[in-house]
A and B are shown apart, each in its own frame.
Chain A
Amino acid sequence: MTISIDPQKTNNESLQPKGWLRYFSFSLDHKVIGIQYLVCGFLFYLIGGTLASAIRIELASPMSDFMPRDVYNQVLTLHGTIMIFLWIVPVVNGAFGNYLIPFYVGARDMAFPRLNAVAFWLIPPSGLMLVASYFVEGAAQAGWTAYPPLSITTPQSGQIIWIMSVLLLGGSSIFGGINFIATIIKLRRPGLKLMRLPMYCWAMLGTSLLVVLSTPVLAGTLILLSFDIIANTGFFNPVLGGNVVVYQHLFWFYSHPAVYIMVLPAFGLVSEILPVHARKPLFGYTTMVFSIMGIVVLGLVVWAHHMFTSGTPPWMRLFFTIATAFIAVPTGIKFFNWVATLWGGKISINSAMLFSCGFIINFVFGGITGVALAQVPFDIHVHDTYFVVAHFHYIVYGGTVFIIFSSIYHWFPKVTGKMLNEKLGILHFAITFIGFNLCFAPQHWLGLNGMPRRVAEYDPQFQFVNQISSLGALLMAISTIPFLINVFLSVRNGKDAGDNPWNALTPEWLTSSPPPVENWEGEAPLVEEPYGYGKEISERK
């Protein structure tokens, strides 16, 4: 007997709103939900980006003159929290996962469509609540890490709302994770073997495992923290005998894997994009799968590298150094494989390709500083300085955000049936790439030379370099303009895309653009070789 999780008949079509209005409804269609995640995430990205600009304006001069110091800490906390919990995580998981995974496994919808819609609809209210908490007396100002005792002793109403909001967002991502695991394992079309799934499925399987294993730990930790704040318990409050380092262990047990929750899906997406535009099979499929799983396993056991200066015992520091550095091996394999995928191809140089190659270059840089940071003696000097700020923005912005843009250029024709304008796309890429490197590269030097992070004021000797960084941030802000113009113009008057403008082989391209409600008119196609480029059709298995 086989247990089958059949998606309930998804839409009672006569009751669903038509046209763009359906994006404002409790739709059960995975494609609609995917777009809801993407657009909602992008709106929060604009808010988070505005806050980032405010931070960089403040830092253009050494004194704290643009906003009061506590407001700076609130803005910083809100920026970090929004970017992680409302932009990157929902978009690379929720948006692309929802849109693509059912196509890739040959299903008509996700395994649990209602749970899926609930997962999405948790986000806008909790996000709005978080943003609104800024206007409450005493918004959260302990950073996105919310370390006690600072988070216990700063004004409390804002911190409590912050915890509530992050808990709801965590719940949303657990629901999403369960759904992805069930869909990939259980809804696969008969005949489709695991080792023939498109790579993004593997990435999402790994990511969802991380989500399901580690997010509950964050939830528990934050609940204990809220007890300390509201009910005066003493889990983490040193005045009542609590232990502040225990909080750090629990927090990073989630938040280190969280960086893989942010980058693994991006690894999956780039593995889909490169073969199409290079017209070559993905190089080393099997090693790619194993390296994803290697990253998942290692990702769970390296959290204490965030705590090398917190008084951890020496043996622990040693263990976490070696474990962390070893993540470079599976990660490195993936990068070599991508370059090998390009090698000998017939590469179309377009916006999607440029953003993906930009990602490779930026991420290699961020990965190298990451291996350096894994070394205890190295980390001790630069921990909690601008070096770290530079490192993680190379990963999350230069890595994941670049891939989000690459993916938008790649799948826009599928979603809308229209092409994006390539000239505007390449302009967008050029400004983003230059602005990004101008903004974050100089920050490595700042950190090495004595500028701590999370400060509204700094030693005047660092002014010039900070101004270069702020100039880069300005360029990044400007770079969204051609992108937005492009999207709005192309949705209305873009060139018709046809069903498969890139001539790609993965299943989502084997249906109309945009696809019909249940993905295929007839039966789902069986794609056994999603990367069979360079072969005659008859040779493809």
Chain B
Amino acid sequence: MLNKNIYLILIISLVFSVSFWIGFNVNLLPAEASINAPIYDELFKILFIIGLIIFIGMTIAVIYSLFKFRKRNDQIGDGIALEGNLSLEIVWTIIPSIIVLLIGLYSYNIYDRMGGMKELNHNHEMMSSNTEKIWAGISQTSDNEIAINNLSIEVSAMQFAFLFNYPKGNFISGELHVPVDQKVSMKMESKDVIHAFWVPEFRIKQDIIPGQPTILNFTPTKVGKYPIICAELCGPYHGGMRASIIVEEESDYNEWFNKNKKPEVNL
């Protein structure tokens, strides 16, 4: 009996250490380039490790049973008439419930840290007079905040391109330029069908919905050029609907901005 328990403990600790090792050493994700990314990756790592423990454990249990309890050639008759075991069943109801609940609470916390739980449009009186309803996006900000923020950009999506309007500079660009380490607020609208704005390195995605503008905020943290990918089937050229986001030092960004800025016209 003691021997059996020792083997069990050994196997369990082996499964745990292998899972933790893989979880910490195998990287399945692309570079981290926004404030969101490391928060996301933290959740990913936890889920990956828990998943590995369960998967490896179950696989071992199945393969071990097939091997250990296989019918030898000369054997006849049945296995043991074991129909259930109440305490065992209670254990494997309660433990998964706790794990699932903890994961849920943890991911709520992660989501909150990403800014996802912020209520949009708290000012309801304003809302009712306003015909345009802005739908809750990710990392939302209120309308006021967007107005104050210098880096508010209007995105319009159409078959099969993204256009970026910089209202402050009164110009439209096919490439999204943003300065590093500053919060960007985007209001996104579609001209035809549903599209989606996805930057894998930022770990953010938001649908762009015709008739219902959505909000997306992010703060890039690493200079570089990243792909913007449309992630919602939008027609034959859906696979080709891409753009780039260029994250640059503030001085470079300002230079680009000033070069493109249209002069104010006084009418």
Contact = CB atoms under 8 A, between A and B. Distances in A.
Interface of A: 64, 68-70, 72-73, 141-143, 147, 149-150, 153-154, 238-239, 241-245, 278-287, 309-314, 317-318, 321-322, 325-326, 328-329, 332-333, 335-337, 339-340, 342-349, 353, 357, 360-361, 364-365, 368-369, 371-372, 375-378, 380-381, 383-385, 444-445, 448-450, 452-459, 531-535, 539
Given A368-B51, A377-B43, A378-B43, A344 B97 contact: no
A284 B207 contact: no
Nearest to B36: A377
A153 to B, nearest CB: 6
Contacts of B110: 375, 377
Contact of A278 (B79, B103, B137, B138): B79
8 contacts: A149-B193, A309-B231, A310-B207, A311-B214, A346-B71, A452-B198, A533-B81, A535-B81
B194 A147 contact: yes
B66 A454 contact: no
Contacts of A450: 30, 200, 227, 229
Given A150-B193, A343-B65, A371 B100 contact: yes
Contact of A329 (B47, B97, B137): B97
B265 interface: no
A365 B92 contact: no
Contacts of B29: 448-449
Contacts of B210: 149, 238-239, 244
B30 A449 contact: yes
A225 to B, nearest CB: 14
Interface in B46-67: 47, 51, 54-55, 58-59, 61-62, 65-66
Contacts of B118: 314
Contacts of A347: 65-66, 69-71, 79
A345 B79 contact: yes
Contact of B47 (A70, A242, A378): A378
A280 B43 contact: no
Contacts of B84: 283-287
Nearest to B229: A452
Interface stretch (B162-170, B179-187, B233-241, B245-253): B233-241
Contact of A244 (B82, B104, B194): B194
Contacts of B239: 64, 69, 452, 454-458
Contacts of A372: 47, 51
Interface string B120-160: 00000000000000011110000000000000000000000
A243 B210 CA distance: 9
Contacts of A311: 135-137, 206-207, 209, 212, 214
A321 B93 contact: no
Contacts of A376: 107, 111, 116
Contacts of A279: 71, 77-79
Contacts of B16: none
Contacts of B100: 325-326, 328-329, 371
Interface of B: 28-30, 39-40, 43-44, 47, 51, 54-55, 58-59, 61-62, 65-66, 69-71, 75, 77-85, 88-89, 92-93, 96-97, 100-101, 103-104, 107-108, 110-111, 114, 116-119, 135-138, 192-194, 196, 198, 200, 203-207, 209-212, 214, 227, 229-240
A344 B80 contact: yes
B200 A380 contact: no
B235 A381 contact: no
Contacts of B44: 378
Contacts, number: 278
Contacts of B196: 309, 384
Of A153, A329, A335, A445, chain B has the most CB atoms within 10 Å of the CB of A329
Contact of B204 (A310, A361, A380): A380
A346 B79 contact: yes
* Among all A-B residue pairs, the 9 with the closest Cβ atoms: A455-B239, A534-B81, A238-B211, A311-B135, A345-B79, A375-B107, A450-B200, A69-B236, A279-B78
Given A361-B62, A449-B200, A321 B104 contact: yes
A357 B229 contact: no
A385 B194 contact: no
A310 B196 CA distance: 9
A501 to B, nearest CB: 15
Given A361-B62, A533-B79, A278 B203 contact: no
A380 B233 contact: no
B205 A380 contact: yes
Nearest to B54: A368
Contacts of A383: 205, 231
B81 A335 contact: no
Given A311-B136, A364-B58, A456-B239, 18 more contacts: A64-B239, A68-B236, A142-B233, A143-B233, A244-B194, A281-B82, A287-B89, A309-B138, A313-B136, A321-B108, A337-B89, A361-B58, A368-B51, A375-B103, A377-B40, A445-B28, A448-B29, A452-B231
A147 B209 CA distance: 11
A449 B72 CA distance: 47
B114 A377 contact: yes
A312 B212 CA distance: 11
Nearest to B230: A452
Contacts of B59: 361, 364
Contacts of B79: 278-280, 344-347, 533-534
Given A69-B236, A280-B82, A311-B137, A333 B30 contact: no
A332 B96 contact: yes
B237 to A, nearest CB: 6
Nearest to A326: B100
A444 B43 CA distance: 17
B72 to A, nearest CB: 9
B25 to A, nearest CB: 15
Contacts of A365: 55
Contacts of B114: 377
B96 A329 contact: yes
Nearest to B91: A336
Contacts of B75: 346
Given A287-B93, A311-B135, A318-B108, A380 B203 contact: yes
B49 to A, nearest CB: 11
B204 A314 contact: no
A488 B237 CA distance: 44
Given A149-B194, A284-B89, A377 B116 contact: yes
B124 to A, nearest CB: 14
A283 B192 contact: no
B235 A150 contact: yes
A245 B214 CA distance: 12
Contacts of A241: 211
Contacts of B104: 321-322, 325, 375
A287 B69 CA distance: 24
A346 B78 contact: yes
A375 B96 contact: no
Nearest to B37: A381
